[in-house]
């Protein structure tokens, strides 16, 4: 049975059972660093998706729903892309960076629309979208 190697706040296991060679150790270390690199962006995407879902749902309860139609549409699109980007990053997908660039664009559009409305849920959504767009751009760079 392999034993973990302490590395900062995490433990790293060699890739092959019982193998402590530098290749296995290095590969596992790279995988752990990649996940940690993505973690901030994953968190931002999940927070943004939740804020967008809440905003869309809250917009549907507003008195003038027709005026909120574009906001609702962009909220739903942004949430879908954010959830998908977070999932691909969690999987370590080679498409994660590509999708994060698209996600950042959707977040920018959603933030711009939500910022035009004075409702608290729209302002919170706009802030979450701006943070997510920034995190996605950093990750995709």
Q: What residue numbers bound the domain in which 102 lies?
A: 47-141
Using DSSP, state whether 6 is helix, strand or coil: strand
**What is the pLDDT, as a whole number, of residue 12?**
52
1 three-state secondary structure: coil
Does residue 75 fall inside a structural domain? yes
When divided into structural domains, the chain yields a total of 1
Residue 38: per-residue pLDDT: 86
Neighbours of 134 (CB within 10 A): 15
pLDDT of residue 91: 87
Q: The domain that contains 90 carries what CATH number? A: 1.20.1270.360
The model carries a pTM of 0.76
Q: And the tokens for 116?
A: 């035009």
Average pLDDT, consecutive stretches of 10 residues, N- to C-terminus, the chain (141 residues): 54 51 50 69 97 98 95 98 94 91 98 97 98 95 90
Q: Is residue 28 part of a domain?
A: no
Q: Does residue 15 lie within any of the structural domains?
A: no
Question: Which pLDDT value is given to residue 30?
Answer: 46
């Amino acid at each position: 049975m392999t034993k973990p190697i302490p590395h900062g706040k995490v433990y790293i296991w060699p890739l092959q059972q019982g193998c402590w060679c530098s290749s296995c150790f290095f590969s596992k270390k790279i995988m752990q660093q990649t996940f940690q690199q993505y973690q901030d962006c994953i968190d931002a995407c999940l927070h943004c998706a939740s804020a967008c879902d809440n905003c869309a749902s809250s917009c549907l309860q507003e008195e003038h729903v027709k005026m909120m139609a574009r906001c609702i549409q962009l909220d739903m699109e942004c949430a879908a892309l954010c959830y998908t980007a977070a999932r691909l990053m969690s999987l370590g997908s080679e498409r994660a960076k590509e999708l994060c660039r698209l996600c950042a664009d959707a977040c920018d559009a959603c933030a711009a629309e939500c910022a035009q409305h004075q409702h608290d849920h729209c302002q919170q959504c706009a802030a979450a979208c701006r943070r997510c767009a920034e995190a996605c751009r950093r990750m995709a760079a």
